Amino acid sequence: MIEFEELRPSYSSFLEFVISGYNSEYINIYLGFLVILGTSVYIFQTRENIHIKLITWYFSLSFFTNFAYQMYHARIFDFIGIAISLVVILTLLVHKLEIRPFERTLIILTAVLLLHLLTLYLFGYFDKYDAADKMFLQRLVMVLRVFVLLFVILYFINFVKTEKHIDFIVSTFKYVGMAALFIMILQEVLFFAFGQSTVGLNYASGYIPVPRFASVAIEGGHFGRLLPTFLIYFLAQKRNTLKIGFPLLFLLGLSVTNISASLYGYLFFIIISIVITHLLICKIHRLKTFLIICGLIGLSICYYFYDYVLLFNEKVIGLLFESSDTYAEFSNRSACFILKSLSEFPLGIGFGVSDRFLPDGSYTDNGIYAIISQLSLLSFIFIFVFLYYWRFLLKSFLKNKRQLLNKCYAPHSLIMVLAMPFIFFFDIVWLYPGYILPFLILMTYINKLKENQRKLQISQITQAK
């Protein structure tokens, strides 16, 4: 058992962080600002056009979610997303942007979210707990974030056209993610080697007496959710194959030292996706070595932290079947919670992403429970649309496998997309940019292939005439 005192942030925004003055315990946050500054300078001094720079800036800074990087509850990448939204609106006023069926569907679904929320508010659906205005504003902010993400997707689809563009975006994204990871690793070194505590040091889930390190995120679990989104892009591609490189193994080993049930679960889903890709899509070099090392890491964790693994199981699995007559006593992962919430609010409570579900403070952390409790019957429409386009991407990849395997980041994105339904089922990370990026990359590749095929058909018809 390791004895330590938690060191959680004493600030809730960038302004409070600045006002608090210099503190050696904030060294990880200062390094985060240094990475943000260095990333921004690097992006804007390149010769890429301004559109690609803004897109890259948005995705690359999505790792920085600590309160020190927030203002008015908006993260730094949210402000970049707002800037992108303004650019898209101005562009639509002057020029036409190409809006394909996929983007039209997103526009309709986003409008449905807003109409659903307005309907609940106007019919007094939030009045039960005398918190109508507060609940409406909280939900409205979440829906506006969906609009921002919609504009980012429109921007990406219209301006990311070439392999060079994608390479610049992904390369910057993954190396900034690695820098954020190494800030966390530095926290571990400072703590274990020198006994120095840094802000973000806290107990693992269930108050397990093992430290974990929040780094540039608010909590260790939050940062654990972000790691897989860039680790997968360290798979090196060569001659239509993927290769498990030792840098990836090194990063994987370091990342699992940050105790996080979310991280372990995500990595498990991604490992399954890697195996599926190996069996059905393309060969992955050193896969056996990779799986053996992952297995050894998993066995070591189970052996040395057996009691804590049982606590994890109780939190993630055991609490699913917990029941209670009151919301306050419900587990936020209880299966009974969703039945209770729908009986109380049969039309849902409005889309709120990971925001608390009810005005009395009760909420759920489980992804599938969250969307069903928030949208009720409408949730099945959103789930159907997601699965429809998920299937579309997989079918399109298999249909154009030969061409797509020659694309730099198509196989990597496919692995992430394969794992996505499981991740979205268990957790509420639907709007995090890192999980949207693989979908957009595959969609861009597929749109480009269709465009080339259409041009070829037109050319053949013209020659025949």
Residue 129 counted as domain residue: no
Which pair of tokens denotes residue 106?
């997103």
Residue 152 counted as domain residue: no
Query: Which amino acid is it at 106?
Result: L
| DSSP conformation letters of 100-113 | -HHHHHHHHHHHHH
Residue 341 counted as domain residue: no
Q: Which of 299, 228, 296 is nearest to 260 (CA)?
A: 228
pLDDT at 455: 79
Residue 91 counted as domain residue: yes
Return the number of other C-beta atoms located less than 10 Å from residue 182's C-beta: 16
Residue 415 counted as domain residue: yes
**By three-state DSSP, how is residue 208 classified?**
strand
> What's the DSSP call for residue 7?
B
HSE (side-chain half, CA atoms, 13 Å) at 159: 21
pLDDT at 380: 93
In this structure, are strands 201-204 and 74-75 parallel, antiparallel, or unpaired? unpaired
**Number of compact structural domains in the chain:** 1
pLDDT at 251: 67
pLDDT, averaged per 10 consecutive residues of the chain (465 residues), comes to 78 91 91 96 93 95 93 90 93 82 91 92 74 76 91 93 92 92 87 88 69 82 81 69 67 67 82 89 81 80 68 56 47 66 81 62 71 88 94 92 87 92 87 92 91 79 70
Q: Which residues pair with 203 in a beta bridge?
A: 211
Which pair of tokens denotes residue 375?
């949208």
> What's the DSSP call for residue 437?
H
Residue 274 counted as domain residue: yes
Q: Which of 59, 98, 163 is nearest to 404 (CA)?
A: 163
Residue 402 counted as domain residue: yes
Interior angle at CA 111, CA 386 and CA 358, nearest 5: 80
Q: What does the buried/exposed string (b/e) look like for 142-164 if buried means 16 or more CB atoms within 10 Å of the residue's CB?
A: bbbbbbbbbbbbbbbbbbbeeee
Residue 375 contacts residue 141 (beta carbons within 8 Å): no
Reading across the β-sheet that carries 241-243, which strands appear in turn?
236-238, 241-243, 284-285
pLDDT at 325: 45
**By three-state DSSP, how is residue 434 classified?**
helix
Q: Is 108 exposed, middle or buried (0-12, 13-18, 19+ CB in 10 A)?
A: exposed
Q: Which residues pair with 155 in a beta bridge?
A: none
pLDDT at 391: 94
pTM for the predicted model, two decimal places:
0.88
pLDDT at 328: 45
Domain of residue 213 covers: 14-97+160-315+377-464
pLDDT at 255: 65
Largest CA distance in the chain: 81
Residue 420 contacts residue 390 (beta carbons within 8 Å): yes
Residue 102 counted as domain residue: no
Q: Which residues contact 350 (CB under 8 A, 6 or more apart)?
A: 116, 117, 120, 135, 136, 139, 142, 143, 374
pLDDT at 250: 66
Residue that the structure tokens 């591609």 belong to: 237
Return the number of other C-beta atoms located less than 10 Å from residue 282's C-beta: 17
Report the distance separating Cα 271 and Cα 32, nearest Å: 29
